[in-house]
Structure formats: C-alpha cells, structure tokens
Amino acid sequence: MNESLKKEKERWESTTLKKVIDRFPERKKEFRSYSGIPIERVYTPLDIEGFDYLSHLGFPGEYPYTRGVQPTMYRGRFWTMRQYAGFGTAKESNQRYKYLLSQGQTGLSIAFDLPTQMGYDSDNPLVSGEVGKVGVAIDSLEDMEVLFSGIPLDKVSTSMTINSTAAILLSMYMAIAEKQGISFNKLRGTIQNDILKEYIARGTYIYPPRPSMRLITDIFEFCSRNIPRWNTISISGYHIREAGATAPQEIAFTLADGITYVEAALSKGLNVDEFAPRLSFFFNAHNNLLEEVAKFRAARRMWAKIMKERFGAKNPKSMMLRFHTQTAGSTLTAQQPDNNIVRVTIQALAAVLGGTQSLHTNSRDEALSLPTEDSVRIALRTQQIIAYESGVPETVDPLAGSYFIEAMTNRIEKEAWEYIDKIDKMGGMIKAIEEGYVQKEIQDSAYQFQKEVEEKERIIVGVNEFKIEEDIKPKILKVDPEIERIQIERLQELKKKRDNRAVKSALSTLKDKAKTDENLVPYIFDAVKAYATLGEISDVLRDVFGIYEEKIFI
C-alpha cells in the first residue's frame, strides 16, 4: 500500500501541485512551527513510516500512555480548573480564593510574592517594595492561618508554586491541617519543589544545587510515608518555555530534570515505586495548537519509557506522566489586551486536546498587571465553555491517527531524545546546568524567535502587524502600597507575642540537624509550629548550606 501511495503522491506533486505553484510562485513558501520544525504541505501515512500502533499509541490508560493516563479521561470527570492566584496580604488572597471557588473553580493554586519565594521576611530591607506584589506575602504560620481561613483542607486540592522554600510552606500547610483536625492522609495537592529549573530559567533559588536537591529528596521521603496523596514535586517545563525554549527543548529539559530527581531519590535509598507515583509535571500551552497537542503526547510516551526502561519501575502509576498546564504568559500582549482572550482559548484547547490533568488559564490583562476579578472570571469561563460546550472532552485523544499529529509527535520525541542523550553524555542535568549548556540553548532559541518577530517573519497580532492608533486598556488591579506597612506591623507584633525561647530552640535544633544527613522536614515542621518565620528558617539553612551565585554564560 505504501508503495502505491508513494507513487500517487509523486504524481500529485508533479501535476496538480506543480500547476498551482507555477501559476502562484508565492505558494511555494515554507512553513515552520513555533519551535522551527518544518511543516509539510500535506501529511500521509508515508510521513509516519515504521509507525507501530501498539508501541507508539496503545490505548488510553495503558503503557506507553501516549493517548492519556486514564481510560476514560474527561468522560469520567473534567480536568481540575485550578486558577493561579494570590496578591497582597493573606486576607485579600483568601477573599479571592473564596470568590473563585464560588464561581466553579475546583482547586486552589497559590501564588507567593518574591520575598516568600526567596526566603526573606517582609521586614527585610532587601525586599522593600516587593511585598505582596506578584503573589501573597507569607511570613509565618499566622499568615497561613489567615490564608486558609474558612477553607477546609480535606475538601480542596491545593497547588503551591514554591521551590526554594517548599519544605517551609508545606510544613505550614500541614500545621493548618492539624489545627483543623484533618489527618495528613486526607491532604491532596502539589508543591512545585522543582529547584533545577530555577537555575535554568527562573531564578528564585537560594542554596547551591546539591543541598537544594537534599531538601527535595527529604520531602519525597517524608511525604511518601506521611502524606501519601500529596504530589511531592511538579517538575516544570513552564518556566523553561517562558524563557524562550522550543517545544522539544521544553519537554527534553523537563524530563532530564525528572531523571535527576529520580536518581537523587534512589541514591537516598528510596524504592522507585515508593515515590514515583506522586511525581507530577507542569507544562506550558503555547500558541501553535497542533504542535502543543503533539508535545503533550510525546512527553507522556517518553516518561513512560524512561520510568520502565531506565529505572525499572513496576507500578503502572510510576510510568504515568500526570501534568498541570498553564497557558503561555509570554504570549500575552499589552497592546490590544482583549486579543489575549483568544490566545488563551487556543492554548487552553491545546491543553485539553493534549490530555492535561489540571489547567490554569491566564487573564487578558496579565501583560499589564495582576488580573482583576472580571478578567479572572473570563479566564475561568474559558475553561468552563471548553468543558461544557465544545464537545472536545467527550472522546479520549480526539486527534489520534491524524497523519500530521502522529508525525509531529514522533518528530518532537526524536528531537527531545537527542537532547537527553547529549545531557547524559555530559554527566547529567546538574553538570549541564553548571556548564551553562541548557541556559545557552534556551537563550539561542529565545533570540531566534525575537529576531523573527522583529523582522516580521512571525506576526504577533496587534504588536508588529494590525496595530491600532488608540489602544483601549482595561481597568487594571493596583496593589495598595500600604500592604507592605501592614504586613510588617503584623510580623513585628507576632515576634513580640510568640514564645521566643521555643523559637530559638527549634531553630538551633534545625541548624544542628542540617549539618547531618537526617531528614529535615520534621525539624522545619517543629520550627513552623513554634511560629519561627520563613526568613528565620531560611537564614539557618543559608548559614549551613551557603547561597548560590549565578554564573554568566556567553
């Protein structure tokens, strides 16, 4: 059949297609995906030569999970609609969470401000002007108590985007559960806890890579034995893509990070099937709808092979790549911001067609400020319309079998394996980061994309084409500068009223244990319950571990 198809394609190219191109030479133009992958004019089974249905696709819910990690996918239940939110004080963020839950959101996603992410208290002079700006300010367990006031933790699934201080915020969450009388085995949620991508693309690191890896594996060990339903890491390609990576680079570098975390856990003596079922991932949904669908499918297949063939996992859940998706913030434009609603819709549709387990849709005004309540509602409604009105969730992997989708899935997988093989030969991801290889690859891709935009090889609607004279801006959210003063006053009052002797004792014990190989999570938990602050706990670990200073790679 393939031979006859090949001859028929050659006939088509030399007659029908040639006649059109001879008459309209401009139609000979070549097309490439956002990642630079050539797009063929038409796809046939010839483009997936050697394709074997069972080894490449199989059925949903079965190895290699190309078609999804659940047999019924969204026919069983929709993805979790998890809008990322947090700003100002814990009280304001608590009100936003309750509003989102009342509007049909099905999971919480906490955004922390930069001081919280970097391990500084709000009264530290280094963070002046940043308190509560890009997320909620959390200095102590007292703030966490306000943040979750009136929200029973056994009724919601909570994601916390936190990395360097992940063990501290998780300990605070556990302490809230204790205060609510909720058993740890009922807690559901995720901490991002992915420090490697901070060195690659984002920058909210504190300690050098190796002690940071120790904290991560301490969390793996503690949670596997105490919080069995908690996802101990969300291995993130999102920020890698936001920094300028292509689709193949996004999944290659993300899965390479995943390999490194698995190796670290194994070296600590954990059994792969003891912790791997609670690993999760976090990907970007970019503008090129079909490329993104193929990317998600390729990532699932690759991770299944990595866990089965490289690490010898036996539990099927260890091989399932479960992931959260966020639409691409880097694609949002300050110009004609209402256009962003359309961009986000396309990106959200790609995530659903690609089989995501949970989804955040960005708001139209995020290129200008933190989103307003109106904009957040539109973003949530976008997900709900896809879920309830589009018909897309009614069948599993609806684009499977498309010549283009299968060829693109294979192509992305091939390019991603090439990157992973190169990183392995370099000695692994930490070595590749230390040598600047990963950072340089992303920088080169970002430069190439921006060059194409500036030369109008890529059109960004409203930015380099289809501009308008007077751009109407929506109402934007402004964080009250008084928030910082209020937060500092609350923090100083806490330091006066708490049992400072108990705080000093807990911090001293933590410092001693940090110099050993003991798991640090129980000691961080004790310090948190004594109302030691996030900055105080981080300072103790800075004293023992040191701080990471970024190298400049040219």
The answer as to whether 224 is a domain residue is yes
Tens of pLDDT along 184-209? 999 999 999 999 999 999 899 999 99
The answer as to whether 492 is a domain residue is no
CA-closest candidate to residue 301, choices 406, 205, 424: 406
The answer as to whether 545 is a domain residue is no
CA distance 103 to 373: 11
Query: For the chain, what is the largest distance between any 2 Cα atoms, rounded to a whole number of angstroms?
Result: 87
Mean pLDDT within 230-248: 96
Strand pairing report for 80-85 and 323-327: unpaired
Its domain, for residue 329, covers 53-454
- The 3-state DSSP class for residue 287 equals coil
Task: Classify the C-alpha dihedral 485-489-495-498 as positive or negative.
Answer: negative
- Residue 1's pLDDT is 54
The answer as to whether 68 is a domain residue is yes
Location of structure tokens 């995943």: 258
The answer as to whether 251 is a domain residue is yes
> Does the pLDDT value for residue 456 go beyond 60?
yes
The answer as to whether 498 is a domain residue is no
> What percent of the chain is modeled with pLDDT above 70?
97
Cα three-residue angle 106-112-114, rounded to 5 degrees: 155
CATH of the domain at 347: 3.20.20.240
Mean pLDDT within 316-336: 96
- Residue 419's pLDDT is 98
For residues 464 and 455, is the Cβ–Cβ distance under 8 A?
no
CA distance 226 to 397: 35
Q: Is 443 exposed, middle or buried (0-12, 13-18, 19+ CB in 10 A)?
A: middle
CA-closest candidate to residue 5, choices 57, 42, 55: 42
**Considering its fold, how many domains does the chain have in total?**
1
Question: Cβ contacts of residue 450 below 8 Å, gap of 6+?
Answer: 244
CA distance 326 to 73: 19
Tens of pLDDT along 472-500? 677 777 777 888 999 999 999 999 999 99
Residue-averaged pLDDT of the chain: 92
Tens of pLDDT along 492-523? 999 999 999 999 999 999 999 999 999 999 99
In eight-state DSSP terms, residue 113 is: P
For residues 237 and 282, is the Cβ–Cβ distance under 8 A?
yes
The answer as to whether 494 is a domain residue is no
pTM (2 decimals)? 0.88
> How sure is the predictor about 217, in pLDDT bands with cuts at 50, 70 and 90?
very high
The distance from CA 460 to its chain's CA centroid, rounded to whole angstroms, is 24
Tens of pLDDT along 369-385? 888 889 999 999 999 99
The more confidently predicted of residues 464 and 16 is 464
The answer as to whether 121 is a domain residue is yes
For residues 87 and 136, is the Cβ–Cβ distance under 8 A?
yes
Mean pLDDT within 253-267: 96
Q: In this structure, what are the phi and psi dihedrals at residue 30, rounded to the nearest 5 degrees?
A: -90, 150
- Token pair recorded at residue 509: 């014990």
- Residue 428's pLDDT is 97
